[in-house]
Homo-oligomer: A and B are copies of this chain.
Amino acid sequence: FPALPGIYQRELQMYGRYTQELGVYAKEEAARLRDGGVRDGGGLRRNTSVRSRAADLLDYEKEPCAKCHLCASRCQKFLISRVGEDWIFLILLGLLMALVSWVMDYAIAFCQEAQKWMYGGLDSNMLLQYIAWVTYPVVLITFSAGFTQILAPQAVGSGIPEMKTILRGVVLKEYLTFKTFVAKVIGLTCALGSGMPLGKEGPFVHVASLCAALLSKFMAPLFGGIYMNELRNTEMLSAACAVGVGCCFAAPIGGVLFSIEVTSTFFAVRNYWRGFFAATFSAFIFRVLAVWNQEEETITALFKTRFRLDFPFDLQELPAFAILGIACGFGGALFVYLNRLIVECMRKQKTINKFLLRKRLVYPALVTLLISTLTFPPGFGQFMAGQLTQHESLVALFDNRTWCRHGVAEEFDYTSHHHAWKHPQVNVFITLILFIIMKFWMSAVATTMPVPCGAFMPVFLIGAGFGRLVGEVMATMFPDGIHADGSVYPIVPGGYAVVGAAALSGAVTHTVSTAVIVFELTGQISHILPVMIAVILANAVAQSLQPSLYDSIIRIKKLPYLPELGMGHHEKYNIRVEDIMVRDVRYITLISCYRDLQEMLLTGQLKTLALVESSDSMILLGSIERLQLQSLLSFQLGRQRRLEYLRRLAQDNGNHDPLPSLNTDSTPSSPCSHTHINASTNTNARQAVRETYSTLTRNYAKMTFTTQEFRSCSVLSSFSLQIAEWEEQQLDEPVDFKNCKIDPAPFQLVEQTSLHKTHTIFSLLGLDHAYVTSMGRLVGVVSLKELRKAIEGSVTVTGVKVRPPLASFRDSGNSTSVSEVTELHKLCIRHRGLSLPREPNFDDDMCGI
């Protein structure tokens, strides 16, 4: 059997896909040309000189105005109805999320009640009690993990890292589908119902985004094209993130701020109101549902505190708050580190890894078994308030009474929540310390389970516990308060709990807005200064030690992200694009032939390629997507043209044996310089590909040929060598860019752009790559990868160089470098046809770049 060149085999595999796409393109192109023809025919763009173009524009301007005057008022109405849509959308989103949140809370409370009821009913037999206590969460978690795994594995985990990536402009497939929504909601309910130390905040951000995406899809056919707009979808998604946090904690302001801090790098203030409106509405409905269900008398905070208002804290307590904040900062960094360590440890241990990959449900079941065993109330749980749910613990920790003051056990009998902390033999301090330590590692382990879960609430709880501990210590040390003159104001350990909760959760998530969340959650803002001081200190400590939990997960999951410029890393102002850009840019020129395209596609993996005028001038004209080039190539070598050629060949040659043609000179007269592939193909391909050709031809035929064509094809199989030659000829033809979508203005930077500015632009505009040009000429390219490396300070990859710190001493005054001057000079000379100047500085050799 005769040979098929390698490229053709490749094309064969992709064939079905591209012919379809090509058809679509052809139609689009035809439509475009038609439209364009009409427009051009209308005399809009006929003139070449600048002056006459402007005059023409005035005609253009008059023309449609007369027509549109009538339509204007109609459009006005149309647009007003669209303004309404935004509100309707946000109200619907808020309503939906409030309902989801409330129903989920109800279901979780029911689950936890059921567990308690089972546990309480079996108090005669400790073993039965233990089995009931342990089995229940294991079953729930296993179900949650299995259900999520089967329906939508994307629903696993928090969702905030993914939302951060999506809002940065990256498309993550399957993250915003209905399946994921169902998996996330049901999985989360089961996971939280199990009583494990898991949170609902992170997943709720994801659920709200899912809701928004689905609502958009649902409203698109009803209201028309606006729901298709990508920018608008991003705006709605960021509002949705705010709703997610807002309706989870009934904290609209904190929700908006938290979602901004956690998901955005740059925030458009004009989108502010969307988040506030939707989050407020959602929080309102969420709390109204509680009133309607007669859980509450009126709308109040979720974890209402009752600290005294007249003297919330003493000025001299502030150092204690500051120390608490710093300690929480270290604790937060430790939590992030521990969490990452567990994940990485499991990945590295190959035997564990293999086992876990095969039995995906074993890991969550084992973890749940361990944690629930340790919290078993008659066992170790009695020393760490193991019987309380997260909600009950938090209410107890935020209580405004002092636990240690009148001994341990005195004041604990009015609510059932409190006697969990009292133990006949053990001091309340020991209970608190055990609670903090056990919950700390339990939470870090539990959040690595493959179920939908967040880490905010467990961390918040640990922080509250730690704060309460510090507060109780302070209350023991200063039983009558610190205030010197006059009235006695005893220390309020509950206030410390609030501060600790905000500080630790702020440290783990690297946010300041947890301060606002605690105010909204507790309904009291009296501790604003201690909370702010502790949160800021905790953030300062944690940010200098570890990335935030969400950034850590982004790195573990290897999502396409752009790291933040750290605080105060001023050297970033002095690294320039020229220091980090890749100078070996892959480009195609206007005079490239298809062989260049082929080589480019085979050797590189870039998504877009630069189009320059010529490799001599290097003037950047635009960029072309890889897909477009592939379709150009597959069109050139495609079925249509191949068949045409074969038919022509059949008409010309009749039934001659094609093999003698092998002996003719098979090297075509190539206008293209790259002929080495050509040569190698012609010598080796015959032997190597001959064997596979028969099967390939059959597959090829099955895929795309009709039976009649197949018959003609099998007849024509003897022409295959001629086809190979024909292919070579085709590859040497210059590329026809006419049917190709070109981005006519890809983003450009200058060599002198600072890293700081580049980072800003990349994160602002969500860029993937940017070309570096100098006087219109392409000199390099910077992609997310290079930028990431520059920021992280790695210099290991060849072709990428991070300027040494010494760069900061560089003179910053020169905005035009010498290369530009000489470059410009050269251009001038080229245009004026002058000879090179006499100055010895401007050696022609030096003008390379």
Contact = CB atoms under 8 A, between A and B. Distances in A.
Contacts of A174: none
A848 B45 contact: yes
A567 B273 contact: yes
Contacts of A761: 765
B260 A269 contact: yes
Contacts of A252: 528, 532
Given A528-B520, A533-B284, A832-B591, A613 B846 contact: no
A299 B316 CA distance: 11
Interface stretch (A68-76, A136-144, A334-342, A469-477): A68-76
Nearest to A757: B231
A636 interface: no
Interface string A776-819: 10000000000000000001001101001110100111111111
Q: How large is the interface on A (under 10, 10 to 19, 20 to 34, 35 or more residues)?
A: 35 or more
Contacts of A288: 315
Nearest to A82: B570
Contacts of A633: none
21 contacts: A54-B584, A64-B806, A71-B806, A82-B568, A83-B567, A84-B568, A253-B532, A260-B269, A266-B267, A268-B760, A298-B312, A298-B314, A300-B526, A304-B309, A523-B525, A591-B832, A734-B828, A740-B816, A744-B820, A764-B765, A776-B776
A619 B620 CA distance: 10
Nearest to A75: B805
A516 interface: yes
A515 B516 CA distance: 12
A742 interface: yes
A253 B298 contact: no
Interface in A212-271: 225-226, 229, 231-232, 252-253, 257, 260-261, 264-270
A423 interface: no
A269 B267 contact: yes
Contacts of A313: 298-299
Contacts of A75: 571, 804-806, 808
A647 interface: no
A269 B266 contact: yes
A812 B225 CA distance: 10
Contacts of A524: 309, 524-525
Contacts of A68: 804-806
A75 B810 CA distance: 13
A591 B831 contact: yes
A798 to B, nearest CB: 6
A45 B281 CA distance: 61
A350 to B, nearest CB: 36
A642 interface: no
A164 to B, nearest CB: 11
B584 A51 contact: yes
Interface string A689-732: 00000000000000000000000000000000000000000000
Contacts of A804: 64-65, 68, 71-72, 75
B231 A35 contact: no
A32 interface: yes
A749 to B, nearest CB: 7
Interface in A569-616: 569-571, 573, 583-585, 590-591, 613-615
A552 interface: no
Interface stretch (A36-44, A374-382, A403-411, A412-420): A36-44
Contact of A775 (B231, B571, B742, B750): B742
A86 interface: yes
Interface in A44-89: 45-48, 50-51, 53-54, 57-58, 60-61, 64-65, 68, 71-72, 75-76, 78-79, 82-87
A266 B848 contact: no
B741 A805 contact: no
Interface string A300-339: 1100101001111111000000000000000000000000
A52 to B, nearest CB: 9
Contact of A583 (B50, B512, B738): B50
A571 B80 CA distance: 10
B573 A231 contact: yes
Nearest to A60: B801
A276 interface: yes
A277 interface: yes
A662 interface: no
A311 B287 contact: no
A394 interface: no
Interface string A75-116: 110110011111100000000000000000000000000000
Nearest to A224: B808
A72 B805 CA distance: 6
Contacts of A291: 315
A532 to B, nearest CB: 4
A59 to B, nearest CB: 11
A665 interface: no
A270 B71 contact: no
A578 B738 CA distance: 22
Given A225-B812, A266-B764, 9 more contacts: A37-B841, A46-B845, A75-B804, A83-B570, A86-B567, A267-B269, A591-B831, A744-B773, A745-B750
A448 interface: no
A556 interface: no
A345 interface: no
A374 to B, nearest CB: 37
Contacts of A744: 750-751, 773-776, 816, 820
Given A284-B529, A776-B619, A849 B83 contact: no
A288 to B, nearest CB: 7
A817 B83 contact: no
A301 B524 CA distance: 12
A721 to B, nearest CB: 30
Contacts of A820: 742, 744
Contact of A526 (B36, B82, B523): B523
Contacts of A385: none
A829 to B, nearest CB: 9
